[in-house]
Chain A
Amino acid sequence: DAKTTQPPSMDCAEGRAANLPCNHSTISGNEYVYWYRQIHSQGPQYIIHGLKNNETNEMASLIITEDRKSSTLILPHATLRDTAVYYCIVRGSQGNLIFGKGTKLSVKP
Chain B
Amino acid sequence: EAGVTQFPSHSVIEKGQTVTLRCDPISGHDNLYWYRRVMGKEIKFLLHFVKESKQDESGMPNNRFLAERTGGTYSTLKVQPAELEDSGVYFCASSQRGGLTDTQYFGPGTRLTVL
Contacts and interface: CB of A to CB of B under 8 A. Distances in A.
Contacts of B31: 95
A104 interface: no
B103 A99 contact: no
A31 B101 CA distance: 10
A44 interface: yes
A97 B45 contact: yes
Contacts, number: 58
A41 B35 CA distance: 14
A44 B109 CA distance: 9
A49 B45 contact: no
Interface string A10-41: 00000000000000000000111000001001
B33 A95 contact: yes
Given A32-B101, A97-B104, A42 B56 contact: no
Nearest to B106: A43
Contact of B59 (A30, A96, A101): A96
A44 B91 CA distance: 9
Contacts of B109: 41-43
B36 to A, nearest CB: 11
Contacts of B111: 41
B89 interface: yes
Nearest to A99: B43
A96 B56 contact: yes
B113 to A, nearest CB: 13
Interface of B: 4, 31, 33, 35, 42-45, 48, 55-56, 59, 89, 91, 93, 98-101, 103-109, 111
10 contacts: A32-B101, A41-B89, A41-B109, A43-B107, A46-B104, A46-B106, A95-B55, A97-B43, A98-B45, A100-B42
